[in-house]
Amino acid sequence: MSNIIYMPVKCICGEAAVLNNSSFLSKLGKSCLILTGSSGAEKSGALKDAVAALEKENIEYTLFNKIGENPLISACREAGEAARNADADFILGIGGGSVLDAAKAVAIYASNEDLTAIDIYKREYANEPLPVALIGTTAGTGSEVTAVAVLTNDETGVKKSISGDDCYAKIAFCDPKYTYSLPYASTVSTALDAFAHAIEGYFSPKCCEAIELWAEKSIPMIYSGLKELANGKEISRELREKLYYGSIYAGLVINTCGTGFPHPLGYVLTENYGVPHGMACAAFFAPYIDRCAEFAPEKAAKFFAMTEEKEAVKAVIASLTELKGVSISKEEAKKYALRWQSVIPRNFTASPGGLTQEEAEAILAEI
């Protein structure tokens, strides 16, 4: 099998990454649309630094702050229209994974006026997307370095991803200080998401030796951070930095390898029960880790050497995973599993031992 690695994003990491490297923004154009959620970009200080950097480079900007969790394709299309109205040359996304993912979609809508909201899933359009720059404010998704955007269909409420070379950002500013203001619950959920990326990518058949280096860097970093969170320790700056850079390394892993079955199963919990994405993925770590140990024992041994023995790892994850109000009957599990009836997701086949629709149904029912 050929090993293919592609990572075109210019990552600028470290303290004051935005303010000290504002000249990179000027290479993208003279006008931009700043894309944020309702408050996170402002609370983190990232928006203030971004505005200062834009003003330093004499770049005009318009703010669009209506991107919510699990971004809707309608909101992304609306932001694309706002970008056109502002004659924006590029999109600057500031926030967690939802905003960063949305920025990639907004760039497509902005340059393709005739594209309807749902058409983005067809991945057919005439014009190249606008350039995108990203500033992350959570330690979770790794969206800064991936060519994937997970979007929610307004009509069905179903999450579905788009991906491709046109979804890469041109620049990612990676400064852990923007995660300092993140509440405890969000810190835990995003860290669980990053851990899912590292593990699921590590056990993917696409994980070649070069990618293993990133996985084996991120897994112990994030796991030790999760143990600190589970022990109730204060979230220090050192812990924030460890989790943030661990999430970036994990993002580099899934950029090549993709994810396993905890992600599509997790979508069921997010869509129907409002469980935050990271928590939703973590809900399926136990069966995933069991299958890794059964079907990929040699690699599993390496994984447990980087963390702890299997039951200890499962206990740490379980202690951080809250599933309030989630109870799935066998009948409901069967209904939810119908989404995988016609097409088995790549996430299933990329998991150790594979996964069938029937097995997914059984795992859901165990919740």
Question: Do 192 and 123 reside in the same domain of the chain?
Answer: no
What is the pLDDT at residue 234? 84
Q: pLDDT confidence of 60, banded at 50, 70, 90?
A: very high
Q: 140 with 210, same domain?
A: no
CATH number at residue 246: 1.20.1090.10
Confirm if 76 and 61 have CB atoms less than 8 A apart.
Answer: no
Boundary-marking domain end, from 145, 179, 213: 179
- Residue 30 CB partners (closer than 8 Å, separation 6+): 58, 59, 60, 89
CB atoms within 10 A of CB 324: 8
Residues 314 and 197 in one domain: yes
Check residue 2 and give its pLDDT: 65
Q: Do residues 298 and 222 share a domain?
A: yes
- Domain check: are 169 and 221 in the same one? no
Q: What is the pTM of this model?
A: 0.95
Q: Domain with 39 in it: what CATH number?
A: 3.40.50.1970
Q: What is the pLDDT of residues 210-257, one digit of tens each?
A: 999 999 999 999 999 999 999 987 899 999 999 999 999 999 999 999
Does 1 map to a domain?
A: no
The answer on 112 and 246 residing in a single domain is: no
pLDDT band at 323 (very low <50, low <70, confident <90, very high): very high
One domain for residues 61 and 97: yes
% of residues, the chain, pLDDT over 90: 96
Q: Cβ neighbours of residue 325 under 8 Å, at least 6 residues apart?
A: 273
Q: 231 with 345, same domain? A: yes
Would you state the pLDDT for residue 233?
A: 76
101 and 219 fall within a common domain: no
Give me the chain's average pLDDT, please. Answer: 96
Structural domains of the chain, count: 2
Q: How confident is the model at residue 131 (pLDDT cuts 50, 70, 90)?
A: very high
Same domain for 272 and 230:
yes
Whole-number pLDDT of residue 346: 94
For the chain, where are the E strands, in sequence order? 10-13, 31-35, 60-64, 90-95, 132-136, 148-152, 159-163, 171-174
Mean predicted confidence (pLDDT) in 132-150:
96
**5 within a domain of the structure (yes/no):** no
Distances (CA, A) of 4 to 1, 145, 255, 257, 281: 9, 16, 11, 10, 27
End residue of a domain, out of 179, 201, 216: 179
- Looking at the structure, tell me whether residues 154 and 203 fall in a common domain: no
What residues make up the domain containing 290? 184-366
